[in-house]
């Protein structure tokens, strides 16, 4: 392991021990903000410290075994060399775990998300593709035992959606899906194509972490226009008889959100406000990240055919993620919800870039 990473690990262990001493001091109130912040930092550093102490023990064992491998007794040398192979493998695995633990955690990783899918270029075929993407994410959510709540939808004339917005609730949702934001491009022969020609269509996907009620986003009531209307979606007779659906317009930015999923106007307003908060915070983050190359991965774009993070080529059964130049011939598996085929490589690439910055 590189020397600068070892020094960073040693500083982290020192900080972990320092926090342990601070938490044991009687003057730190157990219910205070300071106690809460220290406890959270302690919990974050604990697995790293445990792994690093184990790593140092492995290094010590390695040196002792290397010395045994130089002994004159042939049986002892053979046994030591056999142990060396196992220790070398254990140390390599421990270094890999330590490198991942060194990467600063994303504070949003464990948040629920709002998933927004919109048809881009390509007309009816783009709307149909939006429906395919929603089905793909829904199946992946089911495999992760997440809950899917559709907030609003605008169906296409020949199937799929012009736009669909839903909320995904579960463990580490944002951590898994945060790299899905961007323009998704599909290449296939539409059902309506008589000549059998391959068409190219696009959809944009936005992944927005759900924010707490109290967040960095300040929303003034005077900046909002709130309209209520009768839901046109599913929900039985009740929703069609009452103005339960809510549309909120944020006047300074022009951002419009709506929710018609719940029967209660109060619940729909709460969901819509949460979505508005997430969109405003995301817009602010994008403004701050414009100058950073890494942020290009998270830009949704306009939906133009030339912009894309991923291409789904149905005639060849091929899917390509252009950000990491990865091509797989398992399109049918991915469309059925096996998204880890791409999520895991994207995470590894992100971790490698973060680690390179630490180095």
- Measured CA to CA, the distance from residue 83 to residue 199 in angstroms comes to 59
Q: How many CA atoms lie within 13 A of 61 on its CB side?
A: 17
Our CA angle for 25, 28, 32, nearest 5°, is 155
Residue with tokens 């133009």: 304
pTM over 0.85: no
- More confident: 264 or 323: 323
Looking at residues 295-321, what average pLDDT do you find?
A: 72
Listed residues 77, 102, 127: the one ending a domain: 102
User: Total domain count for the chain?
Assistant: 3
Same domain, 26 and 162: no
Helix ranges (DSSP H) in the chain: 3-23, 33-68, 74-102, 124-143, 173-177, 237-241, 265-289, 331-335, 340-358
CA distances to 13, 55, 177, 329 from 99, rounded to whole Å, are: 14, 12, 22, 31
Residue 228: DSSP 8-state: E
Mean pLDDT over the full length of the chain: 86
Same domain, 149 and 12: no
Q: Which domain holds residue 98?
A: 3-102
Instruction: Record the tokens describing residue 151, joined without a space.
Output: 């907030």
Same domain, 192 and 326: yes
In a domain, 313, yes or no: yes
Looking at residues 241-246, what average pLDDT do you find?
A: 77
Same domain, 332 and 348: yes
Looking at residues 3-7, what average pLDDT do you find?
A: 88
Same domain, 17 and 80: yes
Same domain, 270 and 179: no
Same domain, 118 and 209: yes
Contact (Cβ atoms closer than 8 angstroms) between residue 230 and residue 245: yes
In this predicted structure, the answer to whether residue 46 has a pLDDT above a threshold of 90 is yes
In a domain, 298, yes or no: no
Identify the CATH number of the domain in which residue 253 sits: 3.30.160.20
Most confident stretch, 73-82, 277-286, 343-352: 343-352
What pLDDT digit, counting tens, does each position of 62-120 carry? 999 998 888 888 888 888 888 998 999 999 999 999 988 998 888 889 999 999 999 99
What pLDDT digit, counting tens, does each position of 190-231 carry? 876 777 789 999 999 999 998 775 455 678 888 899 998 877
Same domain, 277 and 245: yes
Indicate the pLDDT class of residue 150, thresholds 50, 70 and 90. Answer: very high
- Measured CA to CA, the distance from residue 247 to residue 323 in angstroms comes to 36
Residue with tokens 């060194």: 102
Instruction: Record the tokens describing residue 213, joined without a space.
Output: 């009620």
pLDDT at 307: 63
Helix ranges (DSSP H) in 178-323: 237-241, 265-289
- Measured CA to CA, the distance from residue 15 to residue 13 in angstroms comes to 5
């Amino acid at each position: 392991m590189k020397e600068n990473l070892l020094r960073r690990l040693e500083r982290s262990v020192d900080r972990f021990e320092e926090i342990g001493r601070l938490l044991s001091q009687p003057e730190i109130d157990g219910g205070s903000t300071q106690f809460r912040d220290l406890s959270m930092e302690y919990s974050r550093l604990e697995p790293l410290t445990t792994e690093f102490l184990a790593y140092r023990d492995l290094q010590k064992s390695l040196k002792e075994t290397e010395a045994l491998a130089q002994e004159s007794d042939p049986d002892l040398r053979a046994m030591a060399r056999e142990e060396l192979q196992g220790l070398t493998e254990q140390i390599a695995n421990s270094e890999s775990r330590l490198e991942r633990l060194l990467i600063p955690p994303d504070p949003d990783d464990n948040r629920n998300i709002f998933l927004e899918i919109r048809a881009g270029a390509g007309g009816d075929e783009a709307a149909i593709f939006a429906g395919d993407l929603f089905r793909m994410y829904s199946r992946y959510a089911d495999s992760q035992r997440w809950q899917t709540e559709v907030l609003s939808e605008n169906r296409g004339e020949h199937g799929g959606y012009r736009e669909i917005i839903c909320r995904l609730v579960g463990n580490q949702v944002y951590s898994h899906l945060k790299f899905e934001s961007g323009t998704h491009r599909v290449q296939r022969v539409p059902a309506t194509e008589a000549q059998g020609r391959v068409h190219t269509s696009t959809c944009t996907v936005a992944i927005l972490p759900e924010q707490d009620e109290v967040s960095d986003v300040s929303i003034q009531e005077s900046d909002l226009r709130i309209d209520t209307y009768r839901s046109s979606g599913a929900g039985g007779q009740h929703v069609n008889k009452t103005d339960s659906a809510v549309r909120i317009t944020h006047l300074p930015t022009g951002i419009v959100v709506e929710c018609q999923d719940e029967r209660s106007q109060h619940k729909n307003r709460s969901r819509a406000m949460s979505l508005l908060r997430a969109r405003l915070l995301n817009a602010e983050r994008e403004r701050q990240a414009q100058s950073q190359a890494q942020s290009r991965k998270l830009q949704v774009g306009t939906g133009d055919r030339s912009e894309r993070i991923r291409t789904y080529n149905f005639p060849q059964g091929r899917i390509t993620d252009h950000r990491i130049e990865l091509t797989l011939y398992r399109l049918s598996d991915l469309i059925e919800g096996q998204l880890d085929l791409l999520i895991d490589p994207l995470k590894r690439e992100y971790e490698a870039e973060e680690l390179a910055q630490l180095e």
